[in-house]
Amino acid sequence: MSKVPLAIRKILIDARETFLPRLCTICGKRLMRDENVVCLECISTFEHTCWRGRPGNGAERIFWEKIPIVRANATLHYNRATNAAEALFALKYHSQERLGAHLGRLMAHDLDDTNFFCGIDAIVPIPLSKQRQRQRGYNQSERLAQGISNVTGIPIRCDIVERFKDNESQTRVLPHQREDNVRGIFRVCTKEDLSSKHLLIVDDVLTTGSTIMSCGKTLTEAGCKALSVLTLFVAGRKPEGPYAYEDEDDNVETLRHKYIHSPRPPKQC
Protein backbone atom coordinates (compact mmCIF):
# COMPACT_ATOMS: atom_id res chain seq x y z
CA MET A 1 0.00 0.00 0.00
CA SER A 2 2.89 2.37 0.76
CA LYS A 3 4.07 2.24 -2.89
CA VAL A 4 0.65 3.27 -4.24
CA PRO A 5 0.66 6.97 -5.18
CA LEU A 6 -1.13 9.18 -2.68
CA ALA A 7 -3.91 10.27 -5.08
CA ILE A 8 -4.77 6.65 -5.97
CA ARG A 9 -4.63 5.63 -2.34
CA LYS A 10 -7.16 8.36 -1.54
CA ILE A 11 -9.49 7.09 -4.30
CA LEU A 12 -9.21 3.53 -2.97
CA ILE A 13 -9.92 4.67 0.58
CA ASP A 14 -12.94 6.70 -0.61
CA ALA A 15 -14.24 3.67 -2.54
CA ARG A 16 -13.82 1.44 0.50
CA GLU A 17 -15.61 3.99 2.69
CA THR A 18 -18.47 4.11 0.19
CA PHE A 19 -18.99 0.38 -0.31
CA LEU A 20 -17.60 -1.01 2.95
CA PRO A 21 -18.00 1.76 5.53
CA ARG A 22 -16.11 1.28 8.76
CA LEU A 23 -18.29 1.45 11.86
CA CYS A 24 -17.50 2.43 15.43
CA THR A 25 -17.21 -0.82 17.40
CA ILE A 26 -19.02 0.76 20.33
CA CYS A 27 -21.93 2.86 18.99
CA GLY A 28 -22.09 1.47 15.44
CA LYS A 29 -21.98 4.91 13.77
CA ARG A 30 -19.99 5.34 10.60
CA LEU A 31 -16.37 6.32 11.28
CA MET A 32 -14.88 9.49 9.80
CA ARG A 33 -11.72 9.10 7.73
CA ASP A 34 -9.39 10.10 10.59
CA GLU A 35 -11.16 7.86 13.12
CA ASN A 36 -10.07 4.30 13.77
CA VAL A 37 -12.05 1.48 15.43
CA VAL A 38 -13.82 3.81 17.92
CA CYS A 39 -15.38 7.18 17.03
CA LEU A 40 -14.15 10.33 18.73
CA GLU A 41 -17.55 10.88 20.29
CA CYS A 42 -17.32 7.54 22.12
CA ILE A 43 -13.70 8.15 23.13
CA SER A 44 -14.65 11.54 24.57
CA THR A 45 -17.06 9.86 27.00
CA PHE A 46 -14.38 7.62 28.51
CA GLU A 47 -13.58 8.63 32.06
CA HIS A 48 -9.80 8.70 32.45
CA THR A 49 -8.29 8.02 35.85
CA CYS A 50 -5.50 10.51 35.03
CA TRP A 51 -3.27 8.50 37.40
CA ARG A 52 -0.63 8.00 34.72
CA GLY A 53 1.23 5.51 36.91
CA ARG A 54 1.73 8.03 39.72
CA PRO A 55 3.13 6.39 42.89
CA GLY A 56 0.40 5.66 45.43
CA ASN A 57 -2.44 5.75 42.89
CA GLY A 58 -5.69 3.83 43.47
CA ALA A 59 -4.64 0.82 41.37
CA GLU A 60 -1.32 0.47 43.21
CA ARG A 61 -2.98 0.56 46.65
CA ILE A 62 -5.14 -2.46 45.84
CA PHE A 63 -1.93 -4.56 45.82
CA TRP A 64 -0.23 -3.10 48.87
CA GLU A 65 0.68 -5.85 51.33
CA LYS A 66 -0.67 -8.47 48.88
CA ILE A 67 1.96 -8.95 46.20
CA PRO A 68 5.30 -7.16 45.73
CA ILE A 69 4.61 -4.84 42.83
CA VAL A 70 6.84 -2.13 41.46
CA ARG A 71 4.15 -0.04 39.74
CA ALA A 72 0.46 -0.27 38.88
CA ASN A 73 -1.93 1.73 36.78
CA ALA A 74 -5.46 1.64 35.39
CA THR A 75 -6.32 3.85 32.44
CA LEU A 76 -10.09 4.33 32.69
CA HIS A 77 -12.79 4.26 35.35
CA TYR A 78 -15.37 1.56 34.75
CA ASN A 79 -18.93 2.78 34.93
CA ARG A 80 -21.83 0.60 33.82
CA ALA A 81 -23.80 3.56 32.52
CA THR A 82 -21.16 4.70 30.04
CA ASN A 83 -19.63 3.72 26.72
CA ALA A 84 -16.79 2.19 28.71
CA ALA A 85 -19.14 -0.64 29.66
CA GLU A 86 -20.11 -1.05 26.00
CA ALA A 87 -16.43 -1.17 25.08
CA LEU A 88 -15.71 -3.87 27.65
CA PHE A 89 -18.73 -5.90 26.58
CA ALA A 90 -17.70 -5.67 22.94
CA LEU A 91 -14.12 -6.59 23.81
CA LYS A 92 -15.09 -9.64 25.85
CA TYR A 93 -18.22 -10.99 24.27
CA HIS A 94 -18.68 -9.63 20.77
CA SER A 95 -15.44 -10.82 19.24
CA GLN A 96 -14.09 -7.30 18.85
CA GLU A 97 -10.45 -8.28 18.73
CA ARG A 98 -9.40 -5.09 16.90
CA LEU A 99 -10.89 -3.06 19.71
CA GLY A 100 -8.51 -4.78 22.14
CA ALA A 101 -5.36 -3.67 20.33
CA HIS A 102 -6.82 -0.19 19.89
CA LEU A 103 -7.55 0.16 23.60
CA GLY A 104 -4.14 -1.34 24.41
CA ARG A 105 -2.51 1.46 22.44
CA LEU A 106 -4.63 3.93 24.41
CA MET A 107 -3.34 2.34 27.65
CA ALA A 108 0.27 2.73 26.51
CA HIS A 109 -0.11 6.28 25.18
CA ASP A 110 -1.75 7.30 28.46
CA LEU A 111 1.68 6.62 30.00
CA ASP A 112 3.71 8.54 27.41
CA ASP A 113 6.43 10.65 29.04
CA THR A 114 6.33 8.64 32.27
CA ASN A 115 8.78 5.99 33.49
CA PHE A 116 6.04 3.37 33.82
CA PHE A 117 7.47 0.95 31.25
CA CYS A 118 11.03 1.50 32.42
CA GLY A 119 12.95 -1.75 32.93
CA ILE A 120 10.01 -4.02 32.07
CA ASP A 121 11.23 -7.13 30.25
CA ALA A 122 7.95 -8.66 29.08
CA ILE A 123 4.18 -8.24 29.10
CA VAL A 124 2.21 -11.14 30.57
CA PRO A 125 -1.51 -11.00 29.74
CA ILE A 126 -3.70 -12.74 32.32
CA PRO A 127 -4.38 -16.10 30.63
CA LEU A 128 -7.81 -17.58 30.05
CA SER A 129 -8.39 -21.27 30.59
CA LYS A 130 -8.03 -23.33 27.41
CA GLN A 131 -11.78 -23.96 27.38
CA ARG A 132 -12.70 -20.27 27.79
CA GLN A 133 -10.21 -19.25 25.11
CA ARG A 134 -11.66 -21.84 22.71
CA GLN A 135 -15.17 -20.49 23.30
CA ARG A 136 -14.17 -16.86 22.87
CA GLY A 137 -11.63 -17.48 20.13
CA TYR A 138 -9.10 -15.10 21.66
CA ASN A 139 -7.89 -13.70 24.97
CA GLN A 140 -9.00 -10.09 25.40
CA SER A 141 -6.05 -9.33 27.72
CA GLU A 142 -3.69 -10.61 25.04
CA ARG A 143 -5.31 -8.22 22.53
CA LEU A 144 -4.78 -5.32 24.98
CA ALA A 145 -1.18 -6.49 25.45
CA GLN A 146 -0.72 -6.46 21.67
CA GLY A 147 -1.66 -2.78 21.54
CA ILE A 148 0.69 -1.97 24.43
CA SER A 149 3.49 -3.88 22.74
CA ASN A 150 2.89 -2.04 19.45
CA VAL A 151 3.57 1.26 21.22
CA THR A 152 6.32 0.26 23.66
CA GLY A 153 8.12 -2.50 21.75
CA ILE A 154 8.05 -4.68 24.89
CA PRO A 155 7.54 -8.35 23.94
CA ILE A 156 4.45 -10.33 24.99
CA ARG A 157 5.04 -13.63 26.77
CA CYS A 158 2.12 -16.06 26.82
CA ASP A 159 4.38 -19.02 27.55
CA ILE A 160 5.29 -18.15 31.16
CA VAL A 161 2.05 -18.75 33.04
CA GLU A 162 -1.17 -20.64 32.28
CA ARG A 163 -4.62 -20.89 33.84
CA PHE A 164 -5.06 -24.62 34.33
CA LYS A 165 -8.35 -24.49 36.26
CA ASP A 166 -11.53 -23.06 34.82
CA ASN A 167 -12.97 -21.06 37.72
CA GLU A 168 -16.43 -19.51 37.96
CA SER A 169 -16.48 -16.04 36.36
CA GLN A 170 -15.48 -13.40 38.95
CA THR A 171 -18.56 -11.39 37.94
CA ARG A 172 -20.79 -14.20 39.26
CA VAL A 173 -19.31 -14.46 42.77
CA LEU A 174 -19.53 -12.05 45.68
CA PRO A 175 -16.55 -9.73 46.28
CA HIS A 176 -15.48 -11.57 49.47
CA GLN A 177 -15.52 -14.92 47.60
CA ARG A 178 -13.34 -13.75 44.73
CA GLU A 179 -10.01 -14.54 46.38
CA ASP A 180 -11.06 -18.15 47.03
CA ASN A 181 -12.52 -18.43 43.53
CA VAL A 182 -9.16 -17.78 41.85
CA ARG A 183 -6.79 -19.38 44.38
CA GLY A 184 -4.40 -21.86 42.77
CA ILE A 185 -5.79 -21.55 39.24
CA PHE A 186 -2.48 -20.49 37.63
CA ARG A 187 0.80 -22.32 37.19
CA VAL A 188 4.13 -21.39 35.67
CA CYS A 189 4.77 -23.37 32.48
CA THR A 190 8.41 -22.51 31.81
CA LYS A 191 11.66 -23.70 33.35
CA GLU A 192 13.23 -20.34 32.58
CA ASP A 193 14.92 -18.48 35.43
CA LEU A 194 12.55 -15.60 36.18
CA SER A 195 14.66 -14.03 38.93
CA SER A 196 16.04 -11.35 36.62
CA LYS A 197 12.71 -10.53 34.98
CA HIS A 198 10.47 -7.55 35.58
CA LEU A 199 7.07 -8.66 34.22
CA LEU A 200 4.05 -6.48 33.46
CA ILE A 201 0.75 -8.24 34.14
CA VAL A 202 -2.02 -6.92 31.88
CA ASP A 203 -5.75 -7.43 32.42
CA ASP A 204 -8.99 -5.80 31.31
CA VAL A 205 -10.64 -4.85 34.62
CA LEU A 206 -9.26 -4.30 38.10
CA THR A 207 -11.94 -4.77 40.75
CA THR A 208 -10.73 -6.53 43.91
CA GLY A 209 -7.46 -7.47 42.16
CA SER A 210 -7.90 -11.12 43.21
CA THR A 211 -7.18 -12.64 39.79
CA ILE A 212 -4.05 -10.53 39.27
CA MET A 213 -2.89 -11.30 42.84
CA SER A 214 -3.34 -15.02 42.26
CA CYS A 215 -1.33 -14.83 39.02
CA GLY A 216 1.26 -12.54 40.62
CA LYS A 217 1.65 -14.88 43.60
CA THR A 218 2.26 -17.80 41.24
CA LEU A 219 4.96 -15.80 39.46
CA THR A 220 6.66 -14.63 42.67
CA GLU A 221 6.65 -18.16 44.07
CA ALA A 222 8.40 -19.23 40.86
CA GLY A 223 11.15 -16.71 41.58
CA CYS A 224 9.99 -13.61 39.73
CA LYS A 225 10.72 -10.71 42.07
CA ALA A 226 9.59 -7.69 40.06
CA LEU A 227 6.00 -7.31 38.91
CA SER A 228 4.02 -4.37 37.64
CA VAL A 229 0.34 -4.24 36.73
CA LEU A 230 -1.56 -2.39 34.03
CA THR A 231 -5.31 -2.66 33.46
CA LEU A 232 -7.69 -0.93 31.08
CA PHE A 233 -10.39 -0.27 33.69
CA VAL A 234 -10.62 0.11 37.43
CA ALA A 235 -14.02 -0.55 38.96
CA GLY A 236 -15.49 0.18 42.35
CA ARG A 237 -14.85 2.64 45.09
CA LYS A 238 -11.54 4.01 46.30
CA PRO A 239 -9.71 1.77 48.80
CA GLU A 240 -10.65 2.24 52.44
CA GLY A 241 -8.80 1.85 55.75
CA PRO A 242 -5.01 2.27 55.72
CA TYR A 243 -4.98 2.50 51.93
CA ALA A 244 -7.53 5.31 51.75
CA TYR A 245 -6.19 8.36 50.02
CA GLU A 246 -6.88 11.78 48.66
CA ASP A 247 -5.81 12.52 45.12
CA GLU A 248 -2.87 14.54 46.41
CA ASP A 249 -1.51 12.53 49.31
CA ASP A 250 1.50 14.03 51.11
CA ASN A 251 2.29 10.77 52.92
CA VAL A 252 2.40 8.63 49.82
CA GLU A 253 6.11 7.78 49.94
CA THR A 254 5.95 6.84 53.63
CA LEU A 255 2.94 4.64 53.00
CA ARG A 256 4.51 2.99 49.97
CA HIS A 257 7.61 2.20 51.98
CA LYS A 258 5.41 0.64 54.65
CA TYR A 259 3.08 -1.35 52.43
CA ILE A 260 5.08 -2.31 49.37
CA HIS A 261 7.47 -5.09 50.20
CA SER A 262 9.18 -5.21 46.86
CA PRO A 263 12.44 -7.04 47.49
CA ARG A 264 14.35 -5.13 44.88
CA PRO A 265 14.05 -1.73 43.26
CA PRO A 266 13.19 -1.45 39.57
CA LYS A 267 16.01 -1.14 37.08
CA GLN A 268 16.95 2.40 36.27
CA CYS A 269 16.38 3.65 32.74
Applying CB under 5 A, the residues found at the interface with Zn ion are 24, 26-27, 39, 42
Residue 205 C-beta: closest distance to Zn ion, Å: 20
Of residues 75 and 149, the one with the C-beta less far from Zn ion = 75
Of residues 39 and 99, the one with the C-beta less far from Zn ion = 39
Sheet of strand 122-125, all strands in order from the earlier edge strand to the far edge? 69-77, 226-234, 198-206, 122-125
Residue 184 C-beta: closest distance to Zn ion, Å: 41
- The CA-to-CA distance between both ends of the chain, in Å, stands at 37
Q: DSSP letter for 237, please.
A: P
∠ CA 86-88-94, nearest 5°, is: 80
Of residues 47 and 247, the one with the C-beta less far from Zn ion = 47
Contact 181, 152 (CB under 8 A): no
Residue 41 C-beta: closest distance to Zn ion, Å: 5
Contact 86, 57 (CB under 8 A): no
The whole-angstrom separation of Cα 92 and Cα 112 is: 26
Residue 76 C-beta: closest distance to Zn ion, Å: 15
Of residues 80 and 264, the one with the C-beta less far from Zn ion = 80
Cα 193 vs. chain centroid, distance in angstroms? 25
CB hemisphere CA count around 38 (13 angstroms) = 26
Of residues 88 and 226, the one with the C-beta less far from Zn ion = 88
Of residues 45 and 170, the one with the C-beta less far from Zn ion = 45
Residue 109 C-beta: closest distance to Zn ion, Å: 19
Residue 99 C-beta: closest distance to Zn ion, Å: 11
DSSP-derived pairing of the beta strands 69-77 and 226-234? parallel
